[in-house]
Amino acid sequence: MNWEPYLHKAQYYETDGMGIIHHSNYIRWFEEARVDFLAQIGMPFEEVEARGIVSPVLHVSCDYKTMARFGETVRIFVTVTGYTGAKLFLTYRVEDAETGALRCAGESSHCFLSGGRPVSLRRAVPDYDAILRGLPLVGKED
Amino acid sequence: MNWEPYLHKAQYYETDGMGIIHHSNYIRWFEEARVDFLAQIGMPFEEVEARGIVSPVLHVSCDYKTMARFGETVRIFVTVTGYTGAKLFLTYRVEDAETGALRCAGESSHCFLSGGRPVSLRRAVPDYDAILRGLPLVGKED
Amino acid sequence: MNWEPYLHKAQYYETDGMGIIHHSNYIRWFEEARVDFLAQIGMPFEEVEARGIVSPVLHVSCDYKTMARFGETVRIFVTVTGYTGAKLFLTYRVEDAETGALRCAGESSHCFLSGGRPVSLRRAVPDYDAILRGLPLVGKED
Amino acid sequence: MNWEPYLHKAQYYETDGMGIIHHSNYIRWFEEARVDFLAQIGMPFEEVEARGIVSPVLHVSCDYKTMARFGETVRIFVTVTGYTGAKLFLTYRVEDAETGALRCAGESSHCFLSGGRPVSLRRAVPDYDAILRGLPLVGKED
């Protein structure tokens, strides 16, 4: 199975006074790419939400390598590095769509809530659990 | 009655590639100032929300005069220019807190919803209606 | 000549506590659509900027009609309603890409700066002036 | 020496569809607190920038513990955990200003650029170097 990387065009309102994309926006781009990835594997957000599940962020990190600028398009690769039934671990690789230059690499982890309480997907939504278990888990890049 | 103007310090993440505050942020600052103003007159957002009322934006506009920069503090004056029971009209004047230089001036208008449906505050929440009717309505500045 | 409308997919980080897209984001979407439109007519931002021209916003307004939600795609039509050599006037129509329902309609106006000073494009960059003069100016919708 | 923690009032435009503050905003709050902290120790941003130094983010991370909501004020403690002359390491602790409940804890690291090139503060700006060396470095909290 191959997932399509996510494309984002850097917007002017995302730039900062240094003339580059403000670092906080990459955290938002991770979210864009994650939503797109989850839809690709069969867990579209609208459907997840309609089943009463939300998935807050427990942790996020980002290593900035080179600077994206206004007008450039980045390509974002999302990889699942772990899934425990109760938690999901993802990594992100953001590269310039034209040159392939690495802009940044990051991680996020998530739990699942139903009615505001932590749940195991295994019990709460077995079909999502099966989807996530069926993914080729890739070891976390260091 | 005198309301305290609202103070906001311009943040680095609010700057853009021109080295000035991105124009979209002033719309957000209007909201900050509006929330503060409504709390001052006795309509704190938490309480309004707890009574099941939300107040979406129907219209917003802004005239940009001079450019705020990172690190500067602006002082925002909020004025009610109209209230009909079902709609509220506000204006905003944003000036440099140090020099008084006008940064921008704007307007917003709002309706009130309860359970997703438009309501008249007069019927739905008579005490808020009384507060808004009691304000010294100031004619819209041109 | 027909310009392609601009498409934007509403992101989760653009939602607010009412579960809808926060009103300030439409001002940012206007910018996205404007940049795309200017590139289509032969004034790509990178090139404009490389020629030392910036185009700050003088005025912006937006009338909110219906609420966009996370995951929906909007289609934005940009129209030039006026051009004086020194100022440019645009309108925006944002509609749901699927149903065509009007989300909001807005306007912006802009001047041109070179080296921080207002310039007439007619003198400063005659070829851009010619492009803008050649557009079928559409009367402002009321 | 005691530095004042930084206070930020959570804004409505910072909320998301879950009714909580969107996780990306904490990264922006770290920046607000960092700018404030640097000014307190004698490195106000305007002055740093006027001396031709910028300080991009190399890495950022955040562990989310509990959820801040609109209208709440958070108190942010900034601590320097390392400084090498060329790099600066900071941690952040964000807590509810009223209850002291931990909202999140994070880290950032930074380099220094002059004219777009990495510089050692020791050589480029010895007085800033002296300020940072004079700080009571606190071990990174785990």
Residue of chain D whose Cα is closest to the Cα of C23: D13
Residue A55 lies in a domain: yes
Q: Residue A13: its chain B contacts at CB < 8 A?
A: 16, 22, 24
Q: Report pTM.
A: 0.95
Contact between D60 and A62 using a beta-carbon 8 Å cutoff: yes
Distances (CA, A) of C39 to B18, C21, C26, C123, D37: 19, 26, 20, 21, 42
> What digits encode the pLDDT tens for the residues B94-111?
999 999 999 999 999 999
Residue B44 lies in a domain: yes
Residue of chain A whose Cα is closest to the Cα of B18: A17
Contact between D24 and A31 using a beta-carbon 8 Å cutoff: yes
Per DSSP, the residues of D93-107 read: EEEETTT--EEEEEE
Residue of chain B whose Cα is closest to the Cα of A71: B17
Provide the ipTM. Answer: 0.94
For residue D69, the model assigns a pLDDT of: 96
Half-sphere exposure of residue D65, counting CA atoms within 13 Å on the CB side? 11
Q: Residue D71: its chain C contacts at CB < 8 A?
A: none
Half-sphere exposure of residue D29, counting CA atoms within 13 Å on the CB side? 30
> What digits encode the pLDDT tens for the residues A83-131?
999 999 999 999 999 999 999 999 999 999 998 899 999 999 999 999 9
CB-count burial class (<10 Å; 0-12, 13-18, 19+) for A61: buried
The reply to whether B52 touches chain C by the CB within 8 Å rule is no
Residue of chain B whose Cα is closest to the Cα of A24: B13
Residue A142 lies in a domain: no
The reply to whether D142 touches chain B by the CB within 8 Å rule is no
Interface contacts (A, D; CB < 8 Å): 52
The reply to whether B28 touches chain D by the CB within 8 Å rule is yes
For residue B142, the model assigns a pLDDT of: 41
Closest CA to C59 of C22, C18, C87, C83: C87
- Around Cβ C123, how many Cβ atoms within 10 Å? 11
Distances (CA, A) of D33 to A105, D73, D74, D79, D142: 24, 13, 11, 10, 20
> What digits encode the pLDDT tens for the residues B2-42?
799 999 999 999 999 999 999 999 999 999 999 999 999 99
Query: Residue by residue, what is the 3-state secondary structure of C68-109?
Result: CCCCCEEEEEEEEEEECCCEEEEEEEEEECCCCCEEEEEEEE
Q: What mean pLDDT is predicted for residues C36-49?
A: 94
For residue C89, the model assigns a pLDDT of: 97
Residue type, C41: I
Residue B141 lies in a domain: no
Residue of chain B whose Cα is closest to the Cα of C67: B56
Closest CA to B128 of B28, B30, B54: B54
Look up residue B48 and give its two tokens.
Answer: 């309004």
The reply to whether A69 touches chain D by the CB within 8 Å rule is no
Residue D51 structural domain: 6-133
How many domains in chain C? 1
Residue D139 lies in a domain: no
Q: What is the CATH number of the domain that holds A110?
A: 3.10.129.10
Which residue's structure tokens are 């106006």? Answer: C109
Residue B113 lies in a domain: yes
Distance from CA of D22 to the nearest CA of C (A): 7
Distance from CA of A71 to the nearest CA of B (A): 12
The SS3 assignment for A88 reads strand
Residue D117 lies in a domain: yes
Residue A121 has φ and ψ, to the nearest 5°, of -60, -30
Helix locations, chain C, DSSP H: 24-40, 45-50, 121-124, 126-133
Residue A141 lies in a domain: no
Q: Which residues pair with D57 in a beta bridge?
A: D110
pLDDT of A141 strictly over 50: no
Contact between A24 and B16 using a beta-carbon 8 Å cutoff: no
Identify the weakest region by mean pLDDT among A8-12, A75-79, B51-55: B51-55
Contact between B15 and A16 using a beta-carbon 8 Å cutoff: yes
The reply to whether A59 touches chain D by the CB within 8 Å rule is yes
> What digits encode the pLDDT tens for the residues A39-74?
999 999 889 989 999 999 999 999 999 999 999 999
Best residue in B8, B13, B69 for a mutation probing chain D (most D CBs within 10 Å): B13
More confident of the two residues D138 and C87: C87
